[in-house]
Structure 1
């Protein structure tokens, strides 16, 4: 998984982001001001930086001048929502620009997109006897191919991308089937049952009472 530097001066937001990064398996470092980032970059290698703009010491736009030398992708997380600020962010080389407040699942999804662009070879997920190659959309169990429908694989990918996070049936319908899906949440239950059976993940895909499901990928 990725090593991510979270640069955010509001401790509650920093804690929320890093807690969820840990849940899905990423490593992270925390920074609460712009000045410390320079030292972090000298000491450690990062795959991604989540960067606020309004920071004590040195703001996010100034920091981009230093970050570009390390060729690390950056996602801005900021309350600065004007078009001119967004254009500045992208012109400075940011991969994405997310306005606060944001949904944590959307943030995780955008992180995955940026990481896939930067490190496409990392799209391999192994759990138990199952191996999932996300880019190739291929699944192996005990080194034998597992046949999944397109929708089953889409659901599997969403569970993997959001592993260790409880997802409601409604959220799964939205992420896998789309906003305009008119079916019932029971559709999710049927597909979950199939995934459990095909992958041997009866104990891994956990039912969350009166909510939905969670892929338990913790060791």
Structure 2
């Protein structure tokens, strides 16, 4: 059983942009866990987002009258960095790629598992406000106060999970981190999701920080894990 240690960490609602079946059950589970769920139709919720100021958004990949992917892209293009959890029908590579490309921070398979839902929400909403600090590795800069990543004067936009993964690697430069260590420190000790989730996120992290002919910084150590070092 999951115990939410910080149920009063925020008074802001968790906005559900989903269809009725999920919203009804999820709302009940969230209320019992001490959260404040708020169900809205997709477009109406999107239009009221700045007024509602939710702590997190849960959006359905396939929702009546629109697309969860489209809503995520709209939100990210406006500069909003609120945590987004996307509900998907199938746990395929294509679905995960679509989530990442849209700007969602993570995904949850339908029909959803209550324990996993609360684990993921807790992971994002228990994050403390970071102190002003920067991590540096060569020309790569990670600013913990603004959550910005900069390389060669280029600001790189990362999802929350991509940021946490890069932060972990930059906190342990030149050290080979095993897949188990990465899962435990970035996804949580009790993570029970897809086994190749690290590979998916490493791929997109590389595409973002190693574009424009930049040198590769995240190296694969076959059979073990990954390490942040120059080639």
**TM-score for both structures, normalised by structure 1:** 0.50
Cα deviation, residue 114, structure 1 = 1.8
**1:24, distance to aligned residue in structure 2 (A):** 1.5
Distance in 1 (CA, whole Å) between partners of 2:107 and 2:116 is 12
Determine if the alignment matches structure 1 residue 51 to structure 2 residue 43. no
Query: Which of 91, 99, 107 is the aligned partner of 1:89?
Result: 99
Match of 2:34 in 1: 25
The separation in 2 between residues aligned to 1:91 and 1:77, in whole angstroms, is 15
**Counterparts of 2:116 and 2:91, CA distance in 1:** 17
The 8 Å contact of residues 14 and 36 in structure 2, kept in 1 or not, is answered as yes
Aligned mate of 2:14, from 4, 9, 13:
4
Deviations 1:55-99 (A, max 9, x none): 122210000122223221101112143311211101222111111
Query: Per the alignment, in what secondary structure is the counterpart of residue 106 of structure 1?
Result: helix
Structure 2 distance, partners of 1:39, 1:28, is 17
> Is the Cα contact below 8 Å between 1:38 and 1:66 reproduced in 2?
no
Structure 2 partner of 1:120: 128
Cα distance, 1:102 vs. partner?
2.3
What is the CA RMSD across the aligned residues, in angstroms? Answer: 2.6
SS in structure 2 of the partner of residue 110 of structure 1: helix
After the TM superposition, which residues 43-82 of structure 1 pair with which residues of structure 2 at under 5 Å, given as runs?
43-68=51-76, 69=78, 70-82=80-92
For structure 1, the residue ranges without an aligned partner over 5 or more in a row are 122-175, 180-219
Residue 37 of structure 1 deviates from its aligned partner by 2.3
- 2-structure distance, mates of 1:87, 1:56: 21
Note the alpha carbon deviations across 1:91-135, whole angstroms, 9 max, x for none. Answer: 22211111112210111011111223xx425xxxxxxxxxxxxxx
Q: 1:36 aligns with which of 28, 33, 44?
A: 44
Question: Counterparts of 1:57 and 1:71 in 2: how far apart (Å)?
Answer: 24
Partner residue of 2:25?
16
Deviations 1:179-203 (A, max 9, x none): 9xxxxxxxxxxxxxxxxxxxxxxxx
* Alpha-carbon distance between aligned partners in 1 of 2:112 and 2:65, rounded to the nearest angstrom: 25
**Contact 1:5-1:31 within 8 A present in 2 as well:** yes
* TM-score normalised to structure 2 length: 0.48
Tell me, in whole angstroms, the C-alpha distance in 2 between the residues paired with 1:12 and 1:74: 19
What number of residue pairs does the alignment pair up? 122
Aligned equivalents of 1:113, 1:37: Cα separation in 2: 23
